[in-house]
Structure 1
Amino acid sequence: MRAEAEQLIESIKQSVGLLRRHLDVDAATRRLAELNAKSEDPNLWTDPEFAEKLMRERTMLEDRLSSLAKIERDLDDAATLVDLAEAEGDHAVEAEGIAALRALNAEGERRQLEALLSGEADANDSYVEVHSGAGGTESCDWARMLLRMYARWAERRKFKVELIEETAGDEAGIKSATIVVKGHNAHGWLKTESGVHRLVRISPFDSNARRHTSFASVWIYPVVDDRIQIEVNESDCRIDTYRASGAGGQHVNKTESAVRITHLPTGIVVACQSERSQHKNRATAWNMLRARLYELELEKREAKANADAASKTDIGWGHQIRSYVLQPYQMVKDLRTGHVSSSPADVLDGDLDPFMEASLAQRLSGRTVAVEDVE
């Protein structure tokens, strides 16, 4: 046990050292003091957008500084517990201390990975688009399941989720939908989820209970703020209006308030129907288009800086990143990292952090993994 304890302690100390250097604790502490002082200004909220950004930065710094301090305290407590238990020959307490070190080591690795989310748009909110693939009702239902999975993941992280657009399937599920996930580092965590997702299951829509394979695509791109200038010529765009679709009833807008914008040079299409006002939907759609064009520019920069980023731009129909198998066995496998879960129900209920962490770690290290596909 002692050898394992020493290895864990050393690993946690290394994580703490990396976190302290990345955060620059002295500078972060000074900056937090400045933000605390500004937050007490009674006129702060006269500019709500500025105030929200200030409070978000303040919350982020508080979280990082407090989590680092907690890891250091918990490390000291757990190491002391192991030493005392060993000296007294209390194996049960020693095992308890080592369990605490294991948990702390995992937390240190997670925080270390999160601290490395330093891409240009990683801290931003994020759009999540889901589109059903070929396969009719099956794929529409799968797209609905994926949308719920990302919404549940966001809820687990205390992120806010807003529905921007949804097009219902002919019989069940959705043909497409867009949500915005709001929270610090939302885009940084989600960005590796772009790609084609495959589902294998016994179809609930097949009276013969046959096994079906369904596909749906996910596209992730960051919400951009006003500080990022993206020039879009209106002459390069086609703007269409249509009636919002939905489940029916009093909440469905009977006027053509929904807006779809097609950027002709790139073929990018965005749509919004979340508001009853066409004016508001049009403004949101323009923001979404700017975000998509910004993400396209980020991809070009990343591809030039790092050859490994080519995998990010090579996302197309048939370029699947993950398989979810419900029959004849239970497994979710990421085809890029090799990470596997034997509990698809948990994954579909939002337990995505291990998959995201594995993808981010692979990007940061530049590693590639050859993984055999699942049936």
Structure 2
Amino acid sequence: MVKEPSTDPELRSLASEDLPQATRDLEALSTNLKKSLIPVHPFAHLPCLLELRPGAGGDEAALFASDLLRMYQVYCKSHGLQCKVLSIDTAPSVGAEDQIQEAVIEILSPGSYERFRGEAGVHRVQRVPATETKGRTHTSAVSVLVLPNFPNEVAQDNPNEFNDPNSDYYVNPQDVRTDTMRASGAGGQHVNKTDSAIRLTHIPTGTVVSMQESRSQHSNRTSAWQVLRARLAQARREAREEEMAAMRINAGVKRTGRGDKIRTYNWQQQRVTDHRSAITLNRLDDVLEGGNSLDEIMTSVKEWLASKDLEAMIIDEETASKQKL
């Protein structure tokens, strides 16, 4: 109507005024339609654990892990999400504070898994380290894992989840070896006298979880089981998704895995780019402060995930229809 030469000028003017709002309404309807068509993720309602592990880059990667840890903590605080650091493993660093080797954040608020699952993957940082004398930009990386956080006790309305071998929640205690040891690192006299640290090894998969944050062996054991159950459940879910992805790959539907680079943080340009949703913001400080810019990125990734889920669902339907013929 706006572009039609025969349209009345007054009507064209009114249509031009309404067009931006109509476009926004159409985009909102399209987003809501996608949401209504896509099945809810089985872990969507759960709290979550975020695991941060520095990769290539040495001390610089460990420093970036500290930046991301703080970013998520501030984000949770500003959004009223209850979170705490479940464990931090550090290693001595020459001329600097102990550097993070692994950190686990527990976000207790229900629905946190759905909110944060788009953060899983490799986060890359580009900046000039303080120790760099020639001003060269270094690239480092931190891997972020998002795990479902299951309750420590079986829910009354679903008592069989932990005891059902077919459930993602299930872990056979006979498959888990428990080792106790003395805690290492800072902690005063206590760490030298008490075997409070716990290490769980899931023998079939080789998954190992160590916990020594608390002075209580019971507390460390509970936290270790919490992380072990989360890692195994996520691994089972990912294994099923990989099987489905293998069938969809010929149709051109590719999902981002935990080893894929998902986001780059460039200090010199004050730029953050998410490589999935293709959003780029030149507001690095606000992102690292867990501000609205991080929300904007996470929302764009959520929309990207929804579009990929919809593509996958269409492929599945087409495949099922062909098999019936």
Is the Cα–Cα contact under 8 Å of residues 200 and 212 in structure 1 kept in the other structure?
yes
- The 5 A counterparts of 1:209-228 are 209-225=135-151, 226=154, 227=158, 228=161
For residue 258 of structure 2, the aligned residue among 312, 315, 334 is: 315
- The 5 A counterparts of 1:176-325 are 176-225=102-151, 226=154, 227=158, 228-229=161-162, 230-244=169-183, 255-304=194-243, 307=248, 311-312=255-256, 314-316=257-259, 319-325=260-266
SS at match of 2:42: coil
Give the aligned residue type for 1:191: R
- Once structures 1 and 2 are overlaid, which stretch shifts more, 331-340 or 228-237? 228-237
Which residue in 2 is equivalent to 1:354? 296
In the alignment, structure 1 segments of 5+ residues that lack a partner are: 23-111, 369-375
Is the Cα–Cα contact under 8 Å of residues 145 and 258 in structure 2 kept in the other structure?
no
Is the Cα–Cα contact under 8 Å of residues 124 and 140 in structure 2 kept in the other structure?
yes
CA distance, structure 1, for counterparts of residue 106 and residue 73 of structure 2: 9
Which residue in 2 is equivalent to 1:52? none
Report the CA distance between 1:208 and its aligned residue.
4.8
- The 5 A counterparts of 1:1-375 are 2=14, 3-5=16-18, 7-8=20-21, 11-12=24-25, 15=28, 118-171=40-93, 172=97, 173-225=99-151, 226=154, 227=158, 228-229=161-162, 230-244=169-183, 255-304=194-243, 307=248, 311-312=255-256, 314-316=257-259, 319-327=260-268, 329-351=269-291, 352-366=294-308
The two structures, once aligned, show a CA RMSD in angstroms of 3.3
CA distance, structure 1, for counterparts of residue 64 and residue 27 of structure 2: 42
SS at match of 2:92: coil
How many pairs are equivalent?
273
Is the Cα–Cα contact under 8 Å of residues 117 and 185 in structure 1 kept in the other structure?
no
Give the aligned residue type for 2:116: L
CA distance, structure 2, for counterparts of residue 288 and residue 254 of structure 1: 26
Report the CA distance between 1:156 and its aligned residue.
2.0
CA distance, structure 2, for counterparts of residue 179 and residue 324 of structure 1: 21
CA distance, structure 2, for counterparts of residue 253 and residue 116 of structure 1: 53
Is the Cα–Cα contact under 8 Å of residues 31 and 303 in structure 2 kept in the other structure?
no
CA distance, structure 1, for counterparts of residue 281 and residue 181 of structure 2: 42
Give the aligned residue type for 1:299: E
Is the Cα–Cα contact under 8 Å of residues 265 and 271 in structure 2 kept in the other structure?
yes
SS at match of 1:311: coil
C-alpha offsets along residues 274-312 of structure 1, whole Å, 9 cap, x if unaligned? 322111211221122112222222223444556488635
Q: Tell me: CA distance 1:174–1:18, structure 2 relative to 1, closer, same or farther (3 Å).
A: closer
TM-score by length of 2: 0.72
Report the CA distance between 1:245 and its aligned residue.
5.2
CA distance, structure 2, for counterparts of residue 289 and residue 311 of structure 1: 25
- After TM superposition, the runs of 4+ consecutive aligned structure 1 residues lying more than 6 A away are 16-19, 112-117, 250-253
Q: Tell me: CA distance 1:267–1:195, structure 2 relative to 1, closer, same or farther (3 Å).
A: farther
Q: Tell me: CA distance 1:290–1:326, structure 2 relative to 1, closer, same or farther (3 Å).
A: same
Is the Cα–Cα contact under 8 Å of residues 51 and 102 in structure 2 kept in the other structure?
yes
Which residue in 2 is equivalent to 1:84? none
TM-score by length of 1: 0.63
Q: Tell me: CA distance 1:4–1:218, structure 2 relative to 1, closer, same or farther (3 Å).
A: farther
Q: In percent, how many aligned pairs have the same letter?
A: 34
SS at match of 1:363: helix
CA distance, structure 2, for counterparts of residue 258 and residue 283 of structure 1: 11
Is the Cα–Cα contact under 8 Å of residues 38 and 309 in structure 2 kept in the other structure?
no
Higher relative contact order (CA 8 A, sep 6+): 2
Report the CA distance between 1:192 and its aligned residue.
1.5
CA distance, structure 2, for counterparts of residue 260 and residue 178 of structure 1: 15
Higher fraction of helix: 1
Report the CA distance between 1:367 and its aligned residue.
8.1
In the alignment, structure 2 segments of 5+ residues that lack a partner are: 1-12, 163-168, 311-325
SS at match of 2:209: strand
